[in-house]
Structure 1
Amino acid sequence: MRLISFVNAVLVIVALYFLVFERDALFAFAGRGDDQENTAAETASVTETLAENAIGVVAVRSQAREIGSAVQLRGQTQANRQVEVLAETVSTVLSEPKRKGAFVEAGDLLCELDPGTRPASLAEAKAALLEAESRVPEAEARLQESHARLAEAEINLVAARKLSETGFGSETRRISSEAEMSSAKAGIKSAEAGLEATQAGIEAAQAAVAAAQREIDRLTIEAPFKGLLESDTAELGSLMQPGSLCATVIQLDPIKLVGFVPETEVNRIIVGSMASAQLVTGLQVEGRVTFLSRSADETTRTFEVEITVPNPDLQIRDGQTANIQIAAEGVKAHLLPQSALTLNNEGNLGVRTVGTGDVVNFMPVHLLRDTAEGVWVGGLPETTDVIIVGQEFVTSGVTVAPTYREATQ
């Protein structure tokens, strides 16, 4: 058994030697030289056949161009300011109503309410204030009198002590002088407390006057800013409660365009950038970005953006739909027919191109802008041969016979 295994190993080594080092001689001995020539001829023939049977496609040699890659949003117009002017007190309306759509200036009267007994309350509060102020001189006089008594008590006490020390005065007189001194100090404290009470009474009376005046001021409800009335003011004779609606005022000049930008595009927007929009009415407007939210909406994961637009003639109304374009940094892109776009087996959007040796390649793209002339796409090399006719009938790796068309066609 060992001898047979040894012989088999030797035969395998010899066979490998001839296959590796003497291959040509072995094939010539076996008559395969002509087969190689025949194989080469067959390969050339197959190549020619494939070239003849290659699928014809139409391609365009596209050159990338720089475009302004605006961030496109869909939003709506919104009043710059809108306030519901509410009543702050209870009373009935005395003024004639203003109708919605009317222009108002800041400070214009919207609703005037019945004063009732409020003027009398104000007069009473002012009288109380005068009475409290009249007590001030009396309280100050008492304080001065107390200081005078204290000074007199101090003199008497000094004299009593000296007489007592020299033996000319009795001890009883000294003790009496000390008692007068203590009483004078107590009188000063009492006078000071009375003066403070008088001052407190004045402050309370002043607060009462201010409250009564404030209550009267609430009877006149004025426009907080220049704008339009979005609703009628309160009707004559209607009873107003605190929180009752007097009128709704909106400001439309300037006006805001409000949209929501996805988180993938938010870093391309800068506050202060120029923006344009087309309203559903066809009106074209321009403005600047004045606000970009720092917090995303929890549901849509989008960020609010506001654009301020001049509206002097009030052609733009609140709540109109707008297609917004915000200027951003330019990018390189290719302008291609929309029909050139296709999908690969994985469902990725892209185009089929003609590569080296007229072999088809698939290149993914991303849409930048859709126009009447075609679509602007990014993600392609600077110069690319894009198949625009026949791309749906070929796949990657297939050899084609391209016919080139001018890019402007």
Structure 2
Amino acid sequence: MEWVTVLLIFVGSLLGLMMTGLNVFIAFLIVNLASTVILIGPRGFGLFANSLSESLMTESYATIPLFILMGEILFRSGSVDVLFDSVDRLVGQIRGRLYAVVILIATIFGALSGSVIAVTAMLGRSALPNMEQRGYSPRLSATVVLAGASLAPIIPPSLLAIIVGSLADVSIAGLLVAGIVPGIIISLMTAGYVAFSVIRHPELAPPNVDAVSENRGSAWMAGLKMVPFMLIIFMVMGLIMLGIATPGESAATGVFGAIGVAAIYRKVSLSMLRDALTSATRLSVMIMIIVASSTLFSQLVAFTGASRSLVSWATELGLAPIAMFALMMLLPLVLCMFIDQVAFLLMAVPLYEPLVSALGFDPIWFWAIFLINLTVGGVTPPFGYTLFTLAGSAPNITTKNVFSASLPVVAIFVIAMVLFTFAPQLVVWLPNLL
């Protein structure tokens, strides 16, 4: 059987099963088991057991449940309410103040949780109703929430970066650090778009500067309340950047930091810790099973010779590396409109990894832009799941308005990807410095 046919059967079967609504894990499991029986026979089931064992015993994957637990503790304890009030106070009296508050909050929350769904749902429940009540544009408010929440997979700690680094055999610490500068740039681009929109259309913001609640204390007190959160960010990323701790060790210190912050604000309880542990365990087990299935998928693709043939075919095309890069980025940009980001990531990394090496791309640069590309799919109509998360969590916004609000977000992220493609130092400068 030709390698193209084999690859089309593998990928087509996965996409077909996922588009029927099956869970990502079940889709991978069906394709893997069927392919193992057809290609290897009953003896191949030992290969699946080895893949599962390899995934569970890989030290870098221990980072995933720890980062998930850290985010769960912070959100379930209600500590983030203190952070929201503090940022609100520090931004001060400017027109369209809540737009700036939400951008900053989403950026910080992304650095604390790494989960786009968690940040989107939290801001949809809390920020959007507040902004609508104060006379802010619902559409521009939704744009700000979507753009800010979409930074979570880019700004460390990013669960997707950890999975990519492990599957593609790339430095996880380097890939985490590589998201800092792009995340800040995209955040500034979003702020610039909002400022331009408000200047051009003043009706998008309340006619009067909405006052900051006086019962929240002084700006100095607001800054003081933010110190514990800044310490968590330092414990997670600062220790990695200083070379003191590995990503797994820093994730563990981040969990202790999250418990400490909840205790400082008197929001820690046994029931909260139990719920956080239960939720984090459930999500971590699902992710680990999917990763194990992806590992077996890559081994089966390699067993058929499709990976080697794909590299040979790509090199024989004679296209310039930048043209191949564009083709490799176009595929996730389109497919992630229809399927889950994690599903595509786990399917694409085994196929892309040998091409990245063969084409001589800097792996940190390539996979960092790849992660940004995946994020775009989550906010692109018609099936971006970030859009449905916002529509489901915000009480008074329609799906149509969410779709409309997502278009500027897609434009901002695509422009940023082009910028990082032709200015790679923006991505690799900080990892190389460290």
Query: Which TM-score tier does this pair reach, normalised by the shorter chain?
Result: under 0.3
- Give the TM-score normalised by the residue count of structure 2: 0.14
Structure ranking higher in helix proportion = 2
